[in-house]
């Protein structure tokens, strides 16, 4: 029964052929006295060959696993056999591997090893996701649509497998194929990364800087000053009586609701105070307290950390440098920074022993062009980067998140295929993909700097009692409902963007397991579940022998 | 649900199927008030011109379409449920197979959907491939098959679960005379083992040969229903076949018969039929072992078919060797029957 998986023999021939090419190339290069490992072309060919070998082995393995088990596994196996034998899987794998192998050429122009490797990681994951998303969109909707359109499905759904299990089998096959290709991509990416690193070994300083790409870090924001909220509430009462114009504006914005207007005012004041606290004016000193919580604190005690500083000085020329004095752990370090520049100060491991670090930043002021205030508002202007895990672990988590996102796209494609023809289904799934990925842009805005719950805009439901002006109740109730729908849409769509593994890996930011779990629950559970239920419901109820749209 | 008689396998009561367009406006009435009962153990022929609703009816029996009105029960259950489908075999009007799977994989895949274990799957696939004469071609992808070869795989897959009810929609469509013969043999053999078969075909001679009862549809309505023996009226004529006679002798006979008041309508010196010639050529090629990538000698009907419970019929091993189209030689246990028109007559 070895011929059962016969579609793979093409792959075996390809691998055999390319192994010969590889050997010849290596021999030629070695003969010409060139260092093999530093040769870009040779590296590219080795990567492609190695990746193809992994794909081949993986497909054989999948075929074997899926030979066991029930009807869904049989359907999954046929789906994989289809993608292999119609060359879809191989074209996709080839493009993927060629894409991965080509990236070093693209980023080569960047002379700084650290940035080169960082963009290498980013591009690798991007290419992987992009190609697999296309594969998923087309195979998911195409496989089912085609089968319904050419009536092949008539022979299948009259077997006692159950339509839902049939659908699940298709989804499973696609998910397994994606997982395999993601794993291969991860292995090739990691291999290439270390290859580049090994080749660059000569330059000690550069390699040392790359060290923190090999590890991941967790970004800690300074604690907000204590009593800020109480202070704001106190000041809001004063402000209300002192500034009647502002108060009137607040009142009309909230439709005459005094409680809401007060909260609105407090919210404005709070945001204003936060901005002031993060702004070190000329001649001032500010103290920031970083707290590393829980388990991270224990790790932080031993792991090195860095203080990231990227102040905004307004529109000054980069040659016009401002001197800041940073005091941490009893040591004062002067830093000179121009516009758009950033710096990192390493924090000794024992400084974080009790999970806390206090940093003082002084802005003595005075440069040639006058005094500038150092603005530190925003997540990446001032943060403590605590070293956490390894690149490998982070990459694995990133790939897992991508796999979950692709599994969702597969579910959408299959659900669309249950009632739409191929072109319409592909359009619809692409739309969902773009909307979900695009939703990530909103997510970034939403996620930043959450306000205390007391001040958050959703804390008070419209019907929680007194103080409401009911004269505009009907309209405002409707508007509020509409507003709520809009917000939940953004909330739902932003789930995708909340987990952006590609940026995390390329910037070395640790993806916490909590994020992976969240992604699994939200996208893998809720989103995929809802779409799958809709698809299953339609597919169970539809007349298979009627071709639609 | 339906008041089915205990012995009926399919019951349709007032079944109507209206195809609607996108805006749900009725467009075609494909089946119109059909009442149908198929009894256990019979071969039921569904006839009618193109577009008369045969395939639509069959698809409703399988749950591929839902009736707009009326009730259907298949094997005592609702059409399309797992319990019912597990006992049904279906050959669609056209062979819809996975083009990239080979013949053997196709059969094993379908067997797996029935939950058969690996060894059983392999065994049944081999036996069926042997039966339809494609033992080697089983390793080539189905998309490379000729139309009739695909049809043969289609027939094989419809038998993989040893179905109680076999539904064949134009099974002989695209088949050569040998394949056609085999379809008829399979139908006979299954009926012998207590199975029920519903078959549609435009080759009326074939339907006549295999069916116990036929129904003729027109415009989705049933125009006629009855057993073949009842329906086909006696033509009131006599035909006798002899060795070639000299003209003088024929004239003498004519005179003789005229004297008796008998009209002689036709005197013929028939040629050999093309079908007989065809079979002779094919058989001699097969006995020489000539090379072909197509279908080869059809094999025996697998023993697994009909092993299941079939109370009223014996499950004695039944070997079927190829005869001429009109002379199937059926060996049943020890006794050998030779039969001209109806192997089971
Ligand atoms: N999916 C469908 N949508 C709309 N009309 C359909 C559909 N399927 C069948 N019909 C119509 O229903 C009628 C009956 O078709 P059906 O396929 O049952 O005919 P048939 O008796 O099997 O014909 P044939 O001998 O050609 O196979 C035809 O008029 C056909 O156009
Ligand atoms: Mg038909």
Total Cβ atoms within 10 A of residue B297: 13
Domain count for chain A, please give it: 2
Report the gap between the CA of B81 and the closest CA in chain A (Å). Answer: 7
Listed by number, the residues of chain A in 76-95 with a beta carbon closer than 8 Å to a beta carbon of chain B are 78, 81-82, 85-86
Confidence of residue A446 (pLDDT cuts 50, 70, 90): very low
Residue B206, domain extent: 8-235+271-338
Q: Are residues A310 and A427 in the same domain?
A: no
* Assigned domain for B207 exists: yes
Test site for ligand 1: of A544, A545, A548, A549, most ligand atoms within 8 A of the Cβ: A545
Residues of chain B in contact with residue A7, where contact means CB-CB under 8 angstroms, are 100
- Evaluate whether residue A264 is within a structural domain: no
Please report which confidence band the pLDDT of residue A471 belongs to, taking 50, 70 and 90 as the band edges.
very low
> Which of A352, A367, A387 represents a domain boundary (last residue)?
A387
CATH number at residue A357: 2.60.120.1200
Residues A340 and A436 in one domain: no
**Domain assignment of residue B188, yes or no:** yes
Give residue A206's pLDDT. 66
Instruction: Pick the residue whose CA is nearest to atom 4 on ligand 1.
Output: B19
| Residue A449 forms part of a structural domain | no
Domain end call among A387, A407, A428 = A387
Q: Is B56 in the pocket of ligand 1 (CB under 6 A)?
A: yes
Task: Please give the full DSSP string across B223-285, using - where no structure is assigned.
Answer: EEEEEHHHHS----------S---HHHHHHHHHHHHHTT--------PPPPHHHHHHHHHHHH
- Judged by CB atoms closer than 8 Å, whether chains meet at A160 and B114 is answered as yes
Residue of B53, B169, B218, B223 to mutate, ligand 1, most atoms within 8 A of C-beta: B53
Chain segment B79-88, per-residue pLDDT in tens: 999 999 999 9
**Residue A519 belongs to what domain range?**
2-12+32-216+399-443+489-541
Which one is predicted more confidently, A39 or A226?
A: A226
Q: Chain A closest CA to B97's CA: distance in Å?
A: 6
Instruction: For residue A533, give how far its alpha carbon lies from the nearest alpha carbon of chain B (Å).
Output: 20
Lowest mean pLDDT among A79-93, A337-351, B105-119, B234-248: A337-351
Closest residue by Cα to atom 5, ligand 1, is B19
Can you give the CATH number for the domain in which B332 is found?
3.40.50.300
Regarding whether A204 and A78 lie in a shared domain, the answer is yes
Structure tokens at A236: 């809001």
C-alpha B50 – ligand 2 centre gap (Å)? 7
Nearest-Cα distance to chain B for A548, in Å, is 8
Give the burial class of B269: count Cβ atoms within 10 A of its Cβ; 0-12 exposed, 13-18 middle, 19 or more buried.
exposed
Run of H or E including A427: helix A422-447
Rounded to whole angstroms, the Cα distance separating A498 from A514 reads 12
Compute the average pLDDT of residues B265-292.
86
Q: Is residue B85 part of a domain?
A: yes
Element (H, E) at A273: helix A258-277
What residue owns the CA closest to ligand 1's atom 26?
Answer: B50
Residue A259, in any domain of the structure:
no
Q: Are residues A165 and A57 in the same domain?
A: yes
Ligand 1, closest atom to CA B202? 25
Instruction: Among A257-261, A396-400, A489-493, name the one with the lowest average pLDDT.
Output: A489-493
Residue B30 domain-assigned (yes or no):
yes
A72 lies in the same domain as A209: yes
A124 falls within a domain:
yes
pLDDT tens string A156-173 = 999 999 999 999 999 999
Q: Which of B52, B66, B199, B204 to mutate to test the pocket of ligand 1 (most atoms within 8 A of CB)?
A: B52
Q: Is residue A72 part of a domain?
A: yes
Better-scored residue on pLDDT, A464 or A313 = A313
pLDDT at A111 over 80: no
Tens of pLDDT along A477-519?
787 788 888 777 776 667 777 778 888 888 888 888 888 998 8
Residue A526: inside a domain, yes or no? yes
Spell out the residues 6+ positions from residue A526 whose beta carbon is closer than 8 angstroms to its own.
none
What pLDDT score was predicted for residue B327?
33
Res A447 pLDDT > 70 = no
d(CA B173, CA B152) in angstroms, rounded, equals 10
**Is B265 a member of any domain?**
no
Residue B115 lies in a domain: yes
A314 and A343 within one domain: yes
| Residues A406 and A523 grouped into a single domain | yes
Which pLDDT value is given to residue A402? 94
Same domain, A109 and A141: yes
Whole-structure pTM value: 0.82
Q: Tell whether A36 and A159 lie within a shared domain.
A: yes
Is B101 in the A-facing interface, judged by CB distances under 8 Å? Answer: yes
Question: Does residue B256 lie within any of the structural domains?
Answer: no
For residues A393-416, average pLDDT? 94
Query: Average of pLDDT values for A149-160?
Result: 92
- Res A75 pLDDT > 90: yes
**Under an 8 A CB cutoff, do B113 and A71 touch?**
yes
A294-298, A535-539, B162-166, range with the lowest pLDDT: A294-298
Q: What is the rounded average pLDDT for all residues in chain B?
A: 84
pLDDT one-digit tens code per residue, B174-229: 888 888 988 999 899 989 888 999 999 998 888 998 999 999 999 999 998 988 88
Query: Which of A545, A548, A549 to mutate: most B Cβ within 10 Å?
Result: A545
Nearest ligand 1 atom to the CA of B170 is 27
Report the C-alpha gap between A168 and A75 in whole angstroms: 9
For residue A23, being part of any structural domain is answered with no
Decide if pLDDT at B167 tops 80. yes
Number of domains in chain B: 1
CB A216 within 8 A of CB A508: yes
Reading the block at residue A235, the tokens are: 């000041």
- For residue A208, the model assigns a pLDDT of 65
Residue A290 near residue A222, CB atoms below 8 Å: yes
Is residue A177 domain-shared with residue A310, that is, in the same domain?
no
Check whether residue A77 and residue A208 sit in a common domain: yes
Q: Does the residue A138 lie in any domain?
A: yes
- Based on the fold, state whether residues A381 and A406 are members of the same structural domain: no
Residue B65 domain-assigned (yes or no):
yes
H helix count then E strand count, chain A: 18, 10
Q: Is A158–B102 a contact, with Cβ atoms under 8 angstroms apart? A: no
Q: What is the pLDDT of residues B104-135, one digit of tens each?
A: 999 999 999 999 999 999 999 999 999 998 88
């Amino acid at each position: 029964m070895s011929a059962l998986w016969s579609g793979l023999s093409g792959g075996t021939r390809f691998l055999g052929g390319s192994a010969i090419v590889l050997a010849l190339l290596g021999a030629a290069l070695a003969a010409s006295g060139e260092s093999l490992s530093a040769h870009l072309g040779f590296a590219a060919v080795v990567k492609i060959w190695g990746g193809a070998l992994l794909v081949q082995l993986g497909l054989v393995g999948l075929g074997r696993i899926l030979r066991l088990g029930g009807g869904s596994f049989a359907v999954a196996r046929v789906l994989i056999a289809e993608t292999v034998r119609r060359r879809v899987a191989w074209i996709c794998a080839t493009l993927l591997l060629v894409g991965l192998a080509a990236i070093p050429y693209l980023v080569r122009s960047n002379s700084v090893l650290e940035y080169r490797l960082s963009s290498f990681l980013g591009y690798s994951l991007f290419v992987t996701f992009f190609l697999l998303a296309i594969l998923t969109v087309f195979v998911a909707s195409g496989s089912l649509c085609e089968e319904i359109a050419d009536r092949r499905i008539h022979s299948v759904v009259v077997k006692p497998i159950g339509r839902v299990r049939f659908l699940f089998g298709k989804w499973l096959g696609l998910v397994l194929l994606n997982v395999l290709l993601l794993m291969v991509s991860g292995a090739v990416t990691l291999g290439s990364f270390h290859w580049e690193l090994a080749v660059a070994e000569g330059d000690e300083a550069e390699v040392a800087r790359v060290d923190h790409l090999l590890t991941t870090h967790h970004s800690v924001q300074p604690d907000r000053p204590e009593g800020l909220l109480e202070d704001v509430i106190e000041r809001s009462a004063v402000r209300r009586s002192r500034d009647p114009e502002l108060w009137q504006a607040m009142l009309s914005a909230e439709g005459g609701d005094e409680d809401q207007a007060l909260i609105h005012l407090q919210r404005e004041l709070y945001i204003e105070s936060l901005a002031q606290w993060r702004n070190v004016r000329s001649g001032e000193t500010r103290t920031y307290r970083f707290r590393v919580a829980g388990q991270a604190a224990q790790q932080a005690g031993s792991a090195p950390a860095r203080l990231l500083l990227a102040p905004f000085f307004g529109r000054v020329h980069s040659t016009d440098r401002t001197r800041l004095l940073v005091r941490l752990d009893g040591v004062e370090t002067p830093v000179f920074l121009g516009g758009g520049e950033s710096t990192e100060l390493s924090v000794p491991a024992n400084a974080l022993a009790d999970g806390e670090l206090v940093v003082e930043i002084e802005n003595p002021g005075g440069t040639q062009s006058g005094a500038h205030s150092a603005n530190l508002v925003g997540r990446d202007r001032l943060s403590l980067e605590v070293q956490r895990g390894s690149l490998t672990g982070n990459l694995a988590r990133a790939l897992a998140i991508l796999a979950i996102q692709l599994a969702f796209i597969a579910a959408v494609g299959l659900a669309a295929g249950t009632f739409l023809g191929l072109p319409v289904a592909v359009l619809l799934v692409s739309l969902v993909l773009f909307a979900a990925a695009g939703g990530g842009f909103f997510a970034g805005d939403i996620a930043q700097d959450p306000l205390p719950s007391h001040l958050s805009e959703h804390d008070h439901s419209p019907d929680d009692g007194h103080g409401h002006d009911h004269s505009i109740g009907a309209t405002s109730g409707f508007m509020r409902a509409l507003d709520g729908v809009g917000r939940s849409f953004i909330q739902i769509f932003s789930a995708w963007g909340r987990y952006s593994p590609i940026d995390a890996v390329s910037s070395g930011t640790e993806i916490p397991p909590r994020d992976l779990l969240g992604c699994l629950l939200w996208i893998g559970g809720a989103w995929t579940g809802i779409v799958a239920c809709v698809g299953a419901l339609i597919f169970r109820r539809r007349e298979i022998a009627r071709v639609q749209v | 649900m339906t008041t089915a008689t205990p012995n009926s396998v399919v019951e349709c009561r007032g079944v109507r199927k209206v195809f609607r367009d996108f805006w749900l406006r009725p467009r075609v009435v494909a089946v119109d008030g059909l009442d149908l009962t198929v009894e256990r153990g019979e071969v039921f022929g569904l006839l009618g011109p193109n577009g008369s609703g045969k395939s639509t009816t069959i698809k409703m029996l399988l749950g591929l379409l839902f009736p707009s009105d009326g009730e259907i029960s298949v094997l005592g259950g609702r059409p399309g449920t797992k319990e019912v489908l597990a006992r049904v075999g279906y050959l669609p009007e056209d062979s819809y197979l996975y083009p990239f799977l080979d013949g053997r994989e196709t059969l094993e895949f379908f067997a797996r959907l029935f939950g058969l274990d690996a060894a059983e799957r392999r065994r049944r696939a081999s036996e069926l491939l042997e039966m339809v004469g494609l033992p080697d071609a089983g390793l080539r992808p189905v998309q490379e098959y000729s139309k009739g070869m695909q049809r043969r795989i289609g027939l094989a897959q419809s038998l993989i679960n040893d179905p109680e009810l076999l539904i064949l929609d134009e099974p002989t469509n695209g088949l050569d005379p040998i394949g056609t013969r085999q379809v008829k043999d399979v139908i006979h053999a299954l009926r012998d083992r207590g199975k029920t078969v519903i078959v549609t075909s435009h080759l009326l001679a074939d339907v006549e040969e295999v069916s116990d009862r036929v129904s003729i549809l027109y415009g989705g309505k049933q125009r006629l229903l009855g057993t073949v023996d009842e329906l086909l009226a006696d033509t009131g004529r006599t035909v006798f076949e002899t060795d070639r006679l000299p003209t003088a002798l024929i004239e003498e006979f004519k005179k003789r018969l005229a004297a008796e008041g008998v009209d002689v309508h036709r005197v013929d010196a028939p040629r050999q039929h093309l079908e007989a010639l065809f079979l002779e050529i094919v058989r001699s090629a097969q006995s020489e072992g000539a090379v072909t990538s197509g279908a080869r000698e059809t094999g025996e009907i697998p023993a697994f078919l009909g092993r299941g419970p079939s109370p009223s019929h014996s499950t004695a091993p039944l070997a079927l060797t190829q005869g001429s189209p009109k002379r199937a030689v059926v060996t049943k246990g020890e006794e050998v029957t030779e039969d001209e028109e109806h192997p089971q007559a």
